[in-house]
Chain A
Amino acid sequence: AAGVIQSPRHLIKEKRETATLKCYPIPRHDTVYWYQQGPGQDPQFLISFYEKMQSDKGSIPDRFSAQQFSDYHSELNMSSLELGDSALYFCASSSFTGSVTGELFFGEGSRLTVL
């Protein structure tokens, strides 16, 4: 079965640079979530999209932006990178209209290292 695909899996950037992470949800899933997991931390919710519209917002810095495109894939754009942005970034997808459970299906994550 198709899973959530994230790219790139690993990314190394310098401070003040820009990074873009991509997420391809499971086919027919209408909702995408982004989480940030720092070393030894639990995943922190950043932002979510339902049917290409932002549905909920968490602790996403102003330097970050995200969107969901017409094909339901999502991109997380991070600018003016700081050392503290080094983390594992997870994307998850779910089917809001097709499910009553709220179960999230996670990708393998994109590991961002800021030097």
Chain B
Amino acid sequence: AQSVTQLDSHVSVSEGTPVLLRCNYSSSYSPSLFWYVQHPNKGLQLLLKYTSAATLVKGINGFEAEFKKSETSFHLTKPSAHMSDAAEYFCVVSDRETSYDKVIFGPGTSLSVIP
């Protein structure tokens, strides 16, 4: 069975410092993994995705994530936080079933950026 764990419900960083949002998953297959960002009262925007190609994935706005199969992790990082990065971040796992993709969201991590 699938599951997604985001180890921190809330992360607070100072502007200009690195960001680390942690995600661990369990899956019976070889999943696709995604990070989505949600700004207040907005929809969900794809940051980046892992689909069994390169294990280090680069996304939009300077974010990247590394897939580590041995650790079942897909942590999201950014070298230098910007005020506009303050948002909710969701780690998502997708397993391909016979006729559909089973998509599970993590509980989310709220990122605050302090000026």
When A and B form their complex, what is the total count of cross-chain residue pairs whose Cβ atoms lie within 8 Å? 62
A50 at the interface (CB under 8 A from B): yes
- Known pairs A101-B49, A101-B51; A55 contacts B99 (CB<8 A): yes
Q: Which residue of B lies closest to A44 (CB)?
A: B105
Which one, B17-25, B38-46, B60-68, B73-81, is touching chain A? Answer: B38-46
Query: Smallest CB–CB gap between B64 and chain A, Å?
Result: 17
Q: Are B90 and A42 in contact (CB under 8 A)?
A: yes
Tell me the bound Cα distance from A48 to B43 in angstroms.
18
Tell me the bound Cα distance from A43 to B96 in angstroms.
20
Q: Which among A33, A43, A48 has the highest number of chain B CB atoms within 10 Å? A: A43
Interface residues on chain B, size class = 20 to 34
Contacts of A44 in B (CB 8 A): 105
Tell me the bound Cα distance from A107 to B44 in angstroms.
8
B106 at the interface (CB under 8 A from A): yes
Interface residues of A, dominant DSSP: strand
By the criterion of a CB under 8 Å from any partner CB, how many residues of chain A are at the interface?
25
User: B interface vs A, CB < 8 Å?
Assistant: 32, 34, 36, 42-46, 49, 51, 90, 92, 94-97, 99-108
User: A interface vs B, CB < 8 Å?
Assistant: 31, 33, 35, 42-45, 48, 50, 55-56, 90, 92, 94, 96, 100-109
